[in-house]
Structure 1
């Protein structure tokens, strides 16, 4: 007879083995579920796995549900992800952060910040990935106030030296135009990786500090910290684009090819943009044609580049090619196309595109598009139509308002509509009282109309309120060295006296060909015509041109960058000089490119 105790022990062992088998089965099932979710490539497979999760009783398993939540986020199904999150019994920090990252990834940063407020009310504490997601949301908003609040919380909770968080903070301060603050964080980091270096280079590049971006990139390479990836290289290329530095751009392109990143979409887009901004639209075309499956981003970069170069017909050809390939244009594409029509005088085509944006392509026109159209109308003298359009446009922010009314102010000044110029100027002065542009442009309009009294009044107001016009400056790159020139100032110029002598010789040769200069509209009160001509001859682009002609071999194309709009007098001079010296000049001003050759400009005097 078996002893009861022994029999009980055997039963317990049997039951225990069943329990272990069940646990093993559950573990195996969960592992399969997670593997399926990680390998899911479409929404249908995720929903199928979701159904199996429910049937298998894993809805209360936070670990498994987090994987399911991440899958929905990865599939850009933020609604499904949020519904699943609301059904979770105990969401943890991974759950909260995943959902916040989903909203940030869908460019809905307000929802990310709102979700964080709810998280703070729960017992769940944020981790470094939560804070990185929050700072990314602030970057999208470019909201410095909220960003600083998040930064303070990061410091309080002890994440101030975390690598992931610091890299995100650098990016956030860069997006908020606080590069000095970004650099302080970068310099205080105990350790840095390629992400933190890239974030700092990008911050410099995005804030028109390309020289600092290139210097930091050289430092990264000199320290032999690793092979740069495509994110870092694209930021460096963007820095070259902002500087118009063709030499550095070509060198970086060489690095891209050597590291086999030239097929990368981000890199290709940056290269197309860089070559266009350096005045090498033919190089942009070469890079663009090598892209196997160009996207809307590639086409848009090429359209914008050709528009800036004044090749409006090519911009429109690219746009049509894009439509033929069933690639849907976005709002930026239409900015480029309308800009092309404006700078090429294609008024009817531009108006037709504006009217068909929504009905034919599903893109709602906004202030940016209407600004292009106002510019388009203003350039051909249809200032009244541009004015009526500007009054009817709903503007969301002061930056858009400044663009729209600044465009109208310039057009009305050029065509002698002082009444419209006055209203546009007043609107701009109210929206940004410290901006010099409305004062200067409006005073020029008064002078053109012979109203010297009001011109004096505006200039006096500028002087008494401390508003200063941005000084004109131009720069030129020779043998990968950049030389900067300011209007009317040769005291600190390299070869200053030689430049003046060379310009005087050019002036004489121009006058022999009948050049009279163009001083009309220059606001220099009580200055004789001869003195006005002398002042104009010292415009920054002329100083840069003289330096370039003196220091480059015959046949070399001279490329000049300028921070302001090129004046008509210099434009006429450059055309004539190109014929006299038999050289090509490319000038990139704040609006567009001018390519001078054989006494003509590619803009056909339409800018």
Structure 2
């Protein structure tokens, strides 16, 4: 810093101090606040600190606390900690300020260490201390420590504090303990928008979007406060996870009415929601209204287009980002690699992967390697995918995803040898065990090896591993209807559904459509029985229900928890042409938009 500027600042400090009748802790506090907006706050802090020492107030706790706060504000946590260590007396504010500083600067472990030290003193924590510590546990997802701090909250009598309770809800939500979060929420005597938001977010982040939306309706019913953008963002995310387009549009309307549509985070959530509901055109409209989009909405749009099979659009958006000097992140690359994988753009995908680090400074991790394994596997380059999977060192959870991807590709291309190795690696990781057993069993079934199919199924029963049943759901007039494969017992329209499916089967056969059953039914039964099993897959039941209960011209949107099978995919294409309707199916991997006898995936999924 230039000497004349230092002199000017020093004079400014002296002048502001001389205006008081005498130096006091309050004058230093005022002085710190007065100069908190000076461009070089570091120099101002140093000058103030110097005046504190010269004036004999270096032992004053109040003054030192304000200096700690000021150092934290300018991200000088080491200076703050040094001053803290030199303080002859520290009170709860001193400890809490430093803890909060570490949490705010992304070092929550240090906050917990400080609390451990604080417990050896006679300083008692207050509500701000507890909320800071709970936030640290929330960031770290350290459930056991969080529970111990919760116990101390009860002991010290801060359970009724709004901030503490809201922090506990958030912490339990982040630690995947939604029931415990709800228990805290239910026993709160008074709630505000923050506590409601924390609970709604906990549901949304833990795959319980229906409960998040239900709680939002309760909040709106009581009309206590206006929802903030955090609450609305969680609600939008809940709609996205459920594929609830109607609810998403209503929430979007609230966002616009309350003036939150310009918020970058909520705009990104809306882009993601419309994409996950199969409305990429809506996503694009929301995206284009963002005046200065950051990497977050760009990434949401890239991933959404990729899931919809619009690889070219994803790549165009990626290039647009680069042209605007917006630095892509790891998730952005997951999106573009996924787009290349699901669009058959192998060479482009490998080119992007190879320039991630050198050109864009993004180091590839397990997610990106998994995308490449998927990319190679889809086009039958199984041996290359196998070699890549073997060369990557990842954690157990990432390993399950990596080898699970290779396992699926091996099944698709009939590589029993690699499928066996891949399934063993997944099972050893103790992640996605049921899926590994099922895919390997299906691989054997596709090869006609019924003995090994039987052995694997017996092993699953012996070890208590159960296959996730196929299910699909459809939203009609704000109501959601769930269907399970081969189960129509819970619906009053059972006869109509079965009758319509039989009629459609007949009309498809008239057009020369022959159902694909080879490799789709994984028990050794007659061909006629296989056809019956496939004809009652959950997505077909949902489609028939949708055709019976929606008007012509309305797009039918179906969500499915598993990958759409080949027979259903072919049937949906033909049916879309027969009934002259559009169908959008979101399965485990991507979207399929059926129209006029074809699908946007180009039969590449």
Q: TM-score, normalization: structure 1?
A: 0.92
1:581 — aligned with what? 579
Contact kept? 1:443, 1:455, Cα under 8 Å = yes
Distance change (3 Å), C-alpha of 1:90 and 1:301: farther
Contact kept? 1:247, 1:480, Cα under 8 Å = yes
2:94 — aligned with what? 95
1:386 — aligned with what? 385
Contact kept? 2:521, 2:534, Cα under 8 Å = no
Distance change (3 Å), C-alpha of 1:534 and 1:81: farther
What are the residue-to-residue correspondences of 1:108-123 with 2, within 5 Å? 108-123=107-122
| Superposition deviation, residue 115 in structure 1 | 2.6
Contact kept? 2:208, 2:238, Cα under 8 Å = yes
Aligned with 1:545 (options 543, 546, 555): 543
| SS of structure 2 residue aligned to 1:385 | helix
Superimposed CA distance per residue, residues 250-293 of structure 1 (whole angstroms, 9 cap, x where no aligned partner): 11111111111111122111111111111111111111111111
Pair 1:430 & 2:425 matched:
no
Larger deviation: 345-354 or 303-312? 345-354
Pair 1:54 & 2:34 matched:
no
Q: Alignment RMSD, CA only?
A: 2.0
| SS of structure 2 residue aligned to 1:561 | strand
Q: State the distance in 1 between where 2:208 and 2:157 align.
A: 32
Q: State the distance in 2 between where 1:477 and 1:517 align.
A: 27
1:11 — aligned with what? none
| Superposition deviation, residue 505 in structure 1 | 0.4
1:511 — aligned with what? 509
Larger deviation: 64-73 or 406-415? 64-73
2:441 — aligned with what? 443
| Superposition deviation, residue 380 in structure 1 | 0.8
Distance change (3 Å), C-alpha of 1:267 and 1:416: same
Q: State the distance in 2 between where 1:280 and 1:240 align.
A: 13
Q: State the distance in 1 between where 2:592 and 2:598 align.
A: 10
1:15 — aligned with what? none
What are the residue-to-residue correspondences of 1:254-265 with 2, within 5 Å? 254-265=253-264
Distance change (3 Å), C-alpha of 1:237 and 1:597: same
Aligned with 2:532 (options 518, 531, 534): 534
Q: State the distance in 2 between where 1:368 and 1:72 align.
A: 38
2:406 — aligned with what? 408
Alignment length (residue pairs): 585
| Superposition deviation, residue 460 in structure 1 | 0.7
| SS of structure 1 residue aligned to 2:554 | coil
Contact kept? 2:442, 2:522, Cα under 8 Å = no
What are the residue-to-residue correspondences of 1:48-197 with 2, within 5 Å? 48-57=44-53, 58-197=57-196
Distance change (3 Å), C-alpha of 1:506 and 1:72: farther
| Superposition deviation, residue 145 in structure 1 | 2.1
Contact kept? 1:378, 1:386, Cα under 8 Å = yes
1:559 — aligned with what? 557
Q: Which runs of 5+ in 1 are unaligned?
A: 1-19
Superimposed CA distance per residue, residues 406-432 of structure 1 (whole angstroms, 9 cap, x where no aligned partner): 111101111111111111111222222
| SS of structure 1 residue aligned to 2:119 | helix
Q: State the distance in 2 between where 1:568 and 1:169 align.
A: 46
Distance change (3 Å), C-alpha of 1:37 and 1:561: farther
Q: State the distance in 1 between where 2:35 and 2:485 align.
A: 63
2:13 — aligned with what? none
Larger deviation: 494-503 or 55-64? 55-64
| Superposition deviation, residue 230 in structure 1 | 0.9
Q: State the distance in 1 between where 2:60 and 2:253 align.
A: 51
Larger deviation: 153-162 or 328-337? 153-162
2:222 — aligned with what? 223
Distance change (3 Å), C-alpha of 1:326 and 1:224: same
Contact kept? 1:46, 1:71, Cα under 8 Å = no
| SS of structure 2 residue aligned to 1:485 | strand
Q: State the distance in 1 between where 2:276 and 2:19 align.
A: 67
Superimposed CA distance per residue, residues 157-199 of structure 1 (whole angstroms, 9 cap, x where no aligned partner): 2222221111111111111111111111110111111111000
2:353 — aligned with what? 354
Larger deviation: 569-578 or 141-150? 141-150
Superimposed CA distance per residue, residues 74-100 of structure 1 (whole angstroms, 9 cap, x where no aligned partner): 444444443443344433322322332
Larger deviation: 355-364 or 96-105? 96-105
Q: State the distance in 2 between where 1:139 and 1:28 align.
A: 35
Contact kept? 1:488, 1:538, Cα under 8 Å = yes
What are the residue-to-residue correspondences of 1:295-334 with 2, within 5 Å? 295-334=294-333
2:457 — aligned with what? 459
| Superposition deviation, residue 352 in structure 1 | 1.8
Distance change (3 Å), C-alpha of 1:460 and 1:262: same
Q: State the distance in 2 between where 1:298 and 1:81 align.
A: 36
Contact kept? 1:46, 1:68, Cα under 8 Å = no
| SS of structure 2 residue aligned to 1:121 | coil
| SS of structure 1 residue aligned to 2:473 | strand
Larger deviation: 206-215 or 516-525? 516-525
| Superposition deviation, residue 402 in structure 1 | 1.4
1:7 — aligned with what? none
What are the residue-to-residue correspondences of 1:448-487 with 2, within 5 Å? 448-487=446-485
Q: State the distance in 1 between where 2:25 and 2:132 align.
A: 31
Q: State the distance in 2 between where 1:91 and 1:51 align.
A: 22
